[in-house]
């Protein structure tokens, strides 16, 4: 399937639809506590959504991806959390949530980013290599 998807920065007009997409994306996911929309809202209120992108198809938002700063317990800076990544169920597993993640920080001005942590469940992102965060503790900035 060749989807014509536009990736763009969120606008104020997208806030409600991002919430709707996020709720729908995680609604049937057993491992979810269904707090993803609250995470995004809290990051937005804290002005910690460093990058917040929506995926559009035919002028409708079908997905959302968020990047926010993290501080590692040893004080290391320039780490970013990737997540939540939300895609409407009917578009999941079609590549909508898989932009060139490694290029996003550079394209959107995070010139000094060092590390990116994908916050989520390994079974939902089998293409990501798992690693152990121990002995580190990650905390949102």
- Tokens representing residue 114 in the block: 């060092």
Distance CA 81, CA 138 (A): 9
Q: Domain map of the chain by residue range?
A: 6-140
Query: C-alpha angle with apex 82: 18 to 2, nearest 5 degrees?
Result: 65
Which pLDDT score is estimated for 135? 41
106-117 burial string, b = 16+ CB within 10 Å, else e? eeeebeebeebb
Identify the sign of the CA torsion 133, 134, 139, 141: negative
Per the document, the length of the chain is 141
pTM assigned to the model:
0.75
By the 8 A CB rule, do 91 and 47 touch?
no
Which pLDDT score is estimated for 88? 94
Q: Mean pLDDT, 10 residues at a time, over the chain (141 residues)? A: 81 96 90 88 92 91 88 78 87 73 64 58 45 43 49
Which pLDDT score is estimated for 45? 94
Specify the fold of 6-140: Aminopeptidase (3.40.630)
Distance CA 93, CA 101 (A): 16
Strand locations in 1-114 (E): 6-9, 51-57, 60-72, 79-87
Which pLDDT score is estimated for 46? 93
By the 8 A CB rule, do 21 and 66 touch?
no
């Amino acid at each position: 399937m060749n989807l014509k998807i536009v990736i763009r920065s969120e606008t104020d007009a997208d806030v409600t639809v991002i919430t709707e997409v996020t709720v729908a994306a995680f609604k049937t996911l057993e491992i979810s506590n269904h707090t993803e929309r609250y995470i995004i809202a809290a990051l937005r209120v804290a002005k910690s959504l460093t990058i917040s992108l929506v995926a559009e198809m035919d002028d409708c938002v079908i997905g959302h991806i968020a990047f926010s700063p993290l501080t590692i317990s040893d004080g290391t800076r320039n780490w970013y959390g990737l997540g939540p990544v939300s895609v409407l169920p009917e578009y999941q597993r079609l590549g909508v949530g898989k932009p060139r993640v490694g290029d996003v920080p550079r394209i959107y001005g995070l010139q000094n980013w060092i590390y990116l942590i994908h916050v989520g469940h390994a079974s939902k992102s089998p293409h990501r290599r798992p690693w152990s965060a121990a002995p580190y503790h990650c905390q949102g900035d």
